Structure 1
């Protein structure tokens, strides 16, 4: 029985495994999926997780619950030798081991792309996984608690200054949702005012959200400015050492929260393979998602999602390739499963072709933007479109029901504003007050024996 190994359980990997379960006949192939996380993260919901409008666990899809016929391994693939068709799997606990495969599917996704800017690695946080979104939310709420007890001054300004680096969709949605959350908190803190909060978005290009028209992007900037958020265009972050922000324009200020959303790059797992890569470090694939090298198709190797350079046959991509987003990864995963089955049955695979039907973004509660061609919808209607699209796009009906349910409850009861920052150190309180054995009492050392000096008998010779 052919062995299919899927490296990565994100959008493309999860959907490939899911659809292989549907398309493969009984006994036709054995499927194994390896990912260091036990779930798939629906990344378009991360800004709303950071804003407290979505329960974090509802924005992820557990692998083992929904992949019934796939062997799921929660570990990392640290090496691939396609010449011998073996892969090294490294678990968090235990020794690595090698597995054999006949077909490998590389869908390891992307990671945050950063630059060697002083301080960024030490103080910034990304927005690529559910844990990061939760941390941003807890940091914002915790800082409001701290700042409410301080007089006006540099320390309070630092706590209430929030910075997002990157003006793409992820950055703008995160920035807008954080601003929305902060505004909703102000009535709960009488000692703080709207003017005490400061939001800065830093974008190196001359515009934001390149996926929408210039006119729509200018509307977004104006809308955010009216809500007290400032966008710095044609501006680069020069330094963030110790939270002290220095911009290429010469402006500087202090911030306790710096969120990095300035692009993604292919997962470094590719560096441990002998598969062909292009200049940006992505897997080289052709339009049917088979890996291709200088000598042609690499038999038994496939790739999709952010980790792969998939040609965009519609002509709407960047440099001829599909942009790294969920819309492409999901559709590529679905087609990839059909193509793998087709090749197993000696049939011809199909090329990936998906013309973007439009983009939609949430800009905080009750506000959004939608763009399709020359059509732009803004405000509340676009917000409903955003929620409708993504609520239906997250895989599995049980997840869709959970998402729509929490949205309805939030509409009735309001946004949940409880921070759980202490979850990062769950043993701290227990450890502080836990009783400990008393140190053993020191055993007194025995007294030194006394030396008795004997006197000489009377008349004895000395």
Structure 2
């Protein structure tokens, strides 16, 4: 882009992905860049960023879904927002292929590229999982989980005790990390709160199973703390299957490596994530063995020995060395805590490079781990310090409430908590919103099919008809001939 006033070329910065890292990079670039110093474009197929730590509470009806997303156009006033996918990166020519939902793809040129495409659910080729399970990476998935639970309670209340009712009231979560434990506990709390409105159902009719392949849950906390979480879940009637793998889920029948089969109408998959393959595989940036973009501690793409000029990466799609030594395999773990902080430093470093200054290396000591385990219950771990129960739940809401970007979003989330404290959850399923035209289609008047045209009578040859069946016209003609002869 050329500045029409000075005639100089303005650097073009292309940000691939509008999640944590992408949004915060653009947000902070708007703060640090001088007017006209660079042109920033952010590309994402969704027009909003999702604050994923709140997805379990959305699934449990504690927070309104729209309040945990951050509209890119509303909050990025100086950034060009493009709602589309980046399906290719050719850094050798510094161009990216932009593919919109409608219209033809185009080539977008850039001077600096920031790859923050995030991660997607990582699954395995287990029969039935792709067809029957649902992840927990998007706001749409969280809403669908909530509506499925509420709808299944409505359906089960009309059925007698038996296999079909048990299936509707059985929830299976695969994966015992933070995301799995949080959504598992929140859904268990939601189901318990619903029972007062369904006198036909009892607590014993609901069944919650968590499947974990390892011998423990929540590796981010101490073993003692994870055992406390297990006991807390058990008290609330939840079952945790350790050292167990899912071997099949055809037609919703969850088959376990122990030989047990659990029929379920809701299977939530939280067993790991992987870097966005569309962006990683569609580009020429260096990739490490786990499929993430090789990234230096200063967040430039490359290795300690070689820098890929003009390319940056952060968040779940990147392999950033953890200089504190606490990271798994020597790299920062893929979580929001790192993504946000990396993005803030990346924005500063990118501006520094534009001004011929040196970038700084990313160093962040883990502040600890905090998780919500349903209403008024949580767990917090920082070093050897462990807090459990109500005060940990307060810490969980306090930390994430402050971490939610922009005061406008913070107040909406806090308002949801405040209203639910006094008014309880709004437990109504809106599952039919996924097919909003069903009532209109059922009763809409449609044009009647056209009536078939009557068949034309076959032509009659008068010479072939004799006697009383002779045509009238022929008879009149004969009478006229006789009159004329007389």
TM-score interval w.r.t. the shorter chain? Answer: over 0.9
Equivalent residue number for residue 219 of structure 1: 228
Alignment match of 2:136 (pick from 119, 124, 127): 127
Equivalent residue number for residue 89 of structure 1: 98
Equivalent residue number for residue 274 of structure 2: 265
Contact 1:276 1:293 in 2 (8 A): no
CA distance in 2, matches of 1:78, 1:36: 11
CA-to-aligned-CA distance 1:188-227 (integer Å, 9 cap, x gap): 1111100000000000001000110000000000000000
Residue 51 of structure 1, CA deviation: 0.1
For the residue of structure 2 that corresponds to 1:445, the secondary structure is coil
- Work out whether 1:30 is the aligned partner of 2:39: yes
TM-score, normalization by structure 2: 0.93
TM-score, normalization by structure 1: 0.98
Equivalent residue number for residue 437 of structure 1: 447
CA-to-aligned-CA distance 1:73-120 (integer Å, 9 cap, x gap): 000000010000000100001111111000000000000000011100
Contact 1:42 1:59 in 2 (8 A): yes
For the residue of structure 2 that corresponds to 1:453, the secondary structure is helix
List, as ranges, runs of 4+ consecutive aligned residues in structure 1 with deviation greater than 6 Å: 454-457
CA distance in 2, matches of 1:353, 1:434: 62
Contact 2:98 2:106 in 1 (8 A): yes
User: Number of matched residues?
Assistant: 457
Equivalent residue number for residue 341 of structure 1: 351
For the residue of structure 2 that corresponds to 1:34, the secondary structure is strand
Q: CA 1:294 to 1:397, structure 2 compared with 1: closer, same or farther past 3 Å? A: closer
- Work out whether 1:186 is the aligned partner of 2:188: no
1:126-275 alignment, distance < 5 Å: 126-268=135-277, 269-275=279-285
Contact 2:21 2:314 in 1 (8 A): yes
Q: CA 1:295 to 1:349, structure 2 compared with 1: closer, same or farther past 3 Å? A: closer
Equivalent residue number for residue 383 of structure 2: 373
Alignment match of 1:102 (pick from 89, 111, 124): 111
For the residue of structure 2 that corresponds to 1:134, the secondary structure is helix
Equivalent residue number for residue 462 of structure 2: 452
CA-to-aligned-CA distance 1:328-385 (integer Å, 9 cap, x gap): 0000000000000000001000000110111110000010000001111111111111
Equivalent residue number for residue 460 of structure 1: none
Question: Could you list the runs of 5+ residues in structure 1 that have no partner in the other structure?
Answer: 458-462
Question: Could you list the runs of 5+ residues in structure 2 that have no partner in the other structure?
Answer: 1-9, 467-477, 479-486
Residue 445 of structure 1, CA deviation: 2.4
CA distance in 2, matches of 1:279, 1:451: 90
Contact 2:296 2:304 in 1 (8 A): no
Equivalent residue number for residue 427 of structure 1: 437
- Work out whether 1:21 is the aligned partner of 2:1: no
- Work out whether 1:363 is the aligned partner of 2:373: yes
Residue 293 of structure 1, CA deviation: 5.4
CA distance in 2, matches of 1:413, 1:455: 91
CA-to-aligned-CA distance 1:403-432 (integer Å, 9 cap, x gap): 111100100001110110001101111111
Equivalent residue number for residue 351 of structure 1: 361
CA distance in 2, matches of 1:106, 1:297: 15
For the residue of structure 2 that corresponds to 1:121, the secondary structure is helix
CA distance in 2, matches of 1:27, 1:435: 58
CA distance in 1, matches of 2:465, 2:120: 91
CA distance in 1, matches of 2:51, 2:158: 37
Pairwise CA RMSD of aligned residues? 1.3
For the residue of structure 1 that corresponds to 2:463, the secondary structure is coil
Q: CA 1:455 to 1:415, structure 2 compared with 1: closer, same or farther past 3 Å? A: closer
